[in-house]
């Protein structure tokens, strides 16, 4: 009479879900900044060609916005990969620790059924 089946994904989400979703927000910020650059470049090119009636100060603000978007994109991308690798490491450690704990809880006769290597 075994209990209900346990889900690895559910346990993983309980342990690391909040960290995973916050890391996903960083990826969304990165992608948003990546999509913002062509829009700003198009606005600046239209200003240079005379097709856009921006003031010179607004064009400079567009350039500064492009710089800010690239800076935020760089920081978000760096943090996304750092947190992603850290999450992978934490997951591998947690699974290894769980498997090792289960192996230690086996009685001697059950452990002898498995080879050393």
Q: Where are the domains of the chain?
A: 27-105
What confidence score (pLDDT) does residue 22 get? 96
C-alpha span between 93 and 76 (Å, rounded):
25
Q: What is the pTM of this model?
A: 0.75
List the chain pLDDT tens, one digit each, 117 residues. Answer: 567 888 888 988 999 999 999 999 999 999 999 999 999 999 999 999 988 888 999 999 999 999 999 999 999 999 999 999 999 999 999 999 988 888 788 787 777 777 665
Where does the chain have alpha helices with state H?
Answer: 8-49, 56-104, 108-112
Other beta carbons within 10 Å of 28: 11
C-alpha span between 16 and 93 (Å, rounded):
12
C-alpha span between 112 and 70 (Å, rounded):
59
What confidence score (pLDDT) does residue 105 get? 83
- Helix, strand, or coil (residue 114): coil
């Amino acid at each position: 009479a075994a209990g209900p089946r346990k889900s690895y994904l559910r346990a993983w989400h309980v342990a690391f879900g909040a960290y995973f979703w916050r890391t996903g927000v960083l990826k969304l910020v990165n992608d948003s900044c990546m999509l913002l650059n062509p829009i700003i470049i198009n606005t600046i090119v239209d200003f240079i060609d005379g097709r856009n009636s921006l003031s010179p100060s607004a064009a400079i603000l567009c350039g500064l916005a492009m710089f800010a978007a690239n800076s935020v994109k760089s920081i978000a991308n760096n943090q996304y990969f750092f947190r992603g690798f850290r999450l992978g490491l934490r997951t591998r450690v947690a699974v290894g620790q769980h498997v090792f704990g289960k192996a230690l809880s086996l009685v001697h006769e059950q452990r002898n059924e498995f080879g050393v290597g």
